[in-house]
């Protein structure tokens, strides 16, 4: 099984918030292929800056997470167009970064693990999700 972690899932894990135990169990499961979108690195880092972390600390944290993941998926034209399609099918507005992350999950035929309710506005026929 392949899972894409949304930035909200990484933040929950890092900050030991609700859902952290579930994310930890995913890291420990050898039968799961864990991925993130490349844009998650930026979004996570920016949130850490807002929380007071310095650039060196953020780089260290991101490096630690990269070791736990099976890959970082780059954003290309196909994913960009899929993000547009998902946004068009959503019943509510989806932030740009989140539509791209959702498109990565779709492109990888993966389940998206998250803590953002706006993903629920994307039809289940287009995106498999698990809310923390």
Domains located in the chain, CATH noted: 2-131 (3.40.50.1010)
Q: Which of these, 52, 17, 39, lies nearest to 9 by C-alpha position?
A: 17
For residue 41, what pLDDT is reported?
96
Any long-range contacts for 96-103 (C-beta under 8 Å, 24+ apart)?
97/7, 97/39, 97/43, 98/6, 100/37, 100/39, 100/75, 101/4, 101/6, 101/7, 101/37, 101/39, 101/40, 102/127, 103/79
Residue 71, strand partner residues: 35
Along the 132 residues of the chain, how does pLDDT read in single tens digits? 999 999 999 999 999 999 999 999 999 999 999 999 999 999 999 999 999 999 999 999 999 999 999 999 999 999 999 999 999 999 999 999 999 999 999 999 999 999 999 899 999 999 999 999
């Amino acid at each position: 099984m392949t899972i894409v972690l949304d930035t909200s899932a990484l933040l929950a894990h890092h900050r030991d918030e609700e859902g952290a135990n579930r994310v930890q169990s995913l890291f420990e499961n050898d039968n799961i292929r864990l991925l993130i979108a490349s844009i998650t690195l930026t979004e996570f880092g920016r949130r850490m800056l807002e929380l007071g972390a310095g650039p060196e600390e953020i780089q260290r944290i991101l490096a630690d997470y990269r070791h736990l993941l099976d890959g970082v998926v780059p954003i290309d034209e196909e994913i960009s167009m899929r993000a547009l399609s998902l946004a068009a099918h959503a019943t509510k507005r989806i932030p740009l970064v989140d539509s791209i992350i959702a498109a990565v999950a779709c492109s990888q035929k993966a389940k998206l693990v998250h803590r953002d309710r706006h993903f629920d506005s994307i039809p289940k026929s287009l995106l498999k999700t698990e809310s923390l």
